[in-house]
Chains A and B, each alone.
Chain A
Amino acid sequence: MQNETVLRPKKAPKSLLSKGVRDHLVAYSFIAPNFIGFAIFTLVPMFFAFVLAFVKWDGSNPMEFIGFDNFARLIKDTTFHKALWNTIVYTIGVVPFTMAVALALAILLNQRIIARNFMRTVFFFPYVASLVAVAAVWNFIFSPTMGPVNNILHLISGVPIEDLPRWAADKHWAMFTVILFTVWKNMGYYMVIYLAGLQGINSELYEAAELDGAGAWRRFRNVTVPQLAPTTFFVLMILVINSFKVYDIFINLFAGADNQLNDSTRVMVYQIYNTAFRSLDYGYASAMAIVLFLLVLGITIVQFRGEKKYGQ
C-alpha cells in the first residue's frame, strides 16, 4: 500500500484521478494485506479441494481425472461409514450433555453466589488449557488398573478392578470417555455464552412473573427458556459443527500411539488425515472432505434459517 501512494502521482497526475477512484484505491489498499493472504491461502485451497475430489493422485505421479469414482468408492467404504457413524454418535453424546451442564452452571453462576468469579474462571480454564497436557492427565487418572478413578470406584463398589470399565482402552467405553472429556474441557465456553444470554434477559419479566405468583420452576419454563431460545440455538449449532470437526481429542485421549484408534473411535477427520497423509490418496481424502463440508454446510443453512425465524 505504500508503493501505491508513492507511485500514483507519477503514473497519473492527481487531476486525472477523480476523487471516487482515489477513494476506491484507498479502500482497496486497506483490504489488500488481509485479502491477498486470505485469497491465496484459504480461497485457492478451498477451490482446489473440489477439483481434487474428482482425481486420483498420490502427490508424485500425474493426476488422473476419474469423475465421481471417489464418491462411488465412499458409498461402498465401510471404514468410512464407521467413521461417519462414530462422528454422529460423538455429536449426539456431546451436544445435549454439554448444553445441559453449561446451562445449569450458567443459571447457578448468574445468581448472587459466593466465589462466583472464581468458579467462572475454574470452569472456563479447561477450554484454554493445552489439549495434549490435559489429555495426558486424563489418560493417567482414568488408566484402567493403576488410575485413581478405578481405584476409588473399586473402594466404593467393591467390584474387582479387572471388572471395572477400562475407559479409553476399552472399545465399549472409549467413546463415552471421549465424550466425558469433551464436556469437561469445553463446557466452560458454552457456559459463558449462556451467561451472556441470561444477562440479556430483561429482569422486569422475572419481576412480573413473580408478581403473578410464578414459582422458580414456572419462571424458568416461561421466562428463561423462551428468552434464551436464540442463545440455545446458537450453542446447538456451534456444538454440532465443532463435533463434526473433532480429531485432536481422539488421538490425544488414547495413551501411546494413535494406532490404538480402533473401529469404535475412528472419526471423519481422522479418516481424512490418514487417507491423505499416510496412504497418500489425496483425491479420495478430498472426497471425504467434501462430505464433511456438505454436512457442515447443511447445518449452517439450518442455522441461518433458524436465526431468521427467531428474528435475532
Chain B
Amino acid sequence: MTSHPQWESRRASAARPPRTYRRWLGAVAGLTLIAVTAACSSTGGRPEATGGGIGAGQADTDPITIAMITHAPPGDTFWDMIRAGAETAAAKNNATLRYSSDPQAPNQANFVQGALDAGVDGIALTLAFPDALSGAVQQAANAGVPVVAFNAGLDDWERLGVEQYFGQDENVAGAAVGERLNEEGSQNAICVIQEQGNVALESRCAGVASTFNGNSEVLNVEGRNMPGVRAAIDAKLRQDPNIDTVITLGAPFALTAVDAITDSNSEARVVTFDTNAALMDAIEAGDVEWAIDQQPFLQGYLAVDSLWLNIYNDTVIGGGQSVLTGPTFIDESNIESIADLARSGLR
C-alpha cells in the first residue's frame, strides 16, 4: 500500500486554503516534524518528575510577614539558595516572605524603611555595610520590629543592637581552607576574587593567607565575564607554573578554573568556597577536590525561623553569640549524601 492515494483523498476532502497559507502550513508542519523526530535529544534534559523539598507541614500560628533584605548581586546561585531556605521556613511558619536585594548600601537602607512602612512583623538582613544600615536598624528597634542579621556583619551585629546572627566567619572559613591545604601539601596557591573590593571575599583570601604555610596570592577577575575569568586564570597559571592550587570563591568559578587548568596544561588542583548543583558533578568526577560550605540554605532558613520563634515564643538563638552555619567541607567522603540535595536546591 502506498501513501499516495491516501494523500490525494485527504487533499480532496479538505477545503483548499489559499496558496501562501498552505505554504506556511507546510513549513510549520515540516519544522514540527523535524522537532519531534530528528531534533529530539534522547539523553539528558529535564527530569520527568522532580522530588525533593522539605515537607515540614505548616504552623497554625497567625500569618505574619517577614522582610528579607540582602546585598546579593542579581542572578547569583549562592544567594538563590539562601532565598530557597528562607522560602522554606516561611512556608512552614505560615509567613509571607518579602525578598529584596541590592548590592548598593543606600538601596538596602531604603528597603528596610519600606518594609517598616509596609508594617512587616520581622526583618532579616545582611550587614555587608553595617554603618550604612545602622540608622535603618535603629528605626526598626524604635518601631518594635525584631531584626536578625545573617551572612554578613559578623563583627558588627551586636554593636548595631541586633539580637541574633546566623552565618559563617569568612576569616575562620578561610583559615580552615589554609589548614586543610597545609595538610594536603599545597605550596603555591592563588585565591581568585570575582568581585574586586568585596569585603567578605577579601577576608576569605586573608583567612587563607593567615594559616597557609605556603605562598598565596590574590587574583582579581571580572566575575560577570566568564570567558574573561577563564583567560585570566589561564594567564596566571602560565605566568607562574609553580602554582599547585587554585582557590575560587564561588562554585561557577571553580568550574571555569577547571577549564583554565586544562587550557594551560597546568597540574594545579581546584578547591572552592560555596557550592551549587553543577559543582556536585565536578566533585564526584574529581575535577574539583572539595568545597567549603557555609550552608546558605541554612542561613536563610534560620533567619526566618528565628524571627517566627522570636515573635511567638520570645526566644533568642545563640545567647548573644553568633550562630555559625559553617564552615563544613564537601568532598568525596560525603558528596554522595549531599549531591541530590544540592541538585534540588537545598544545599
A and B together in one complex: no
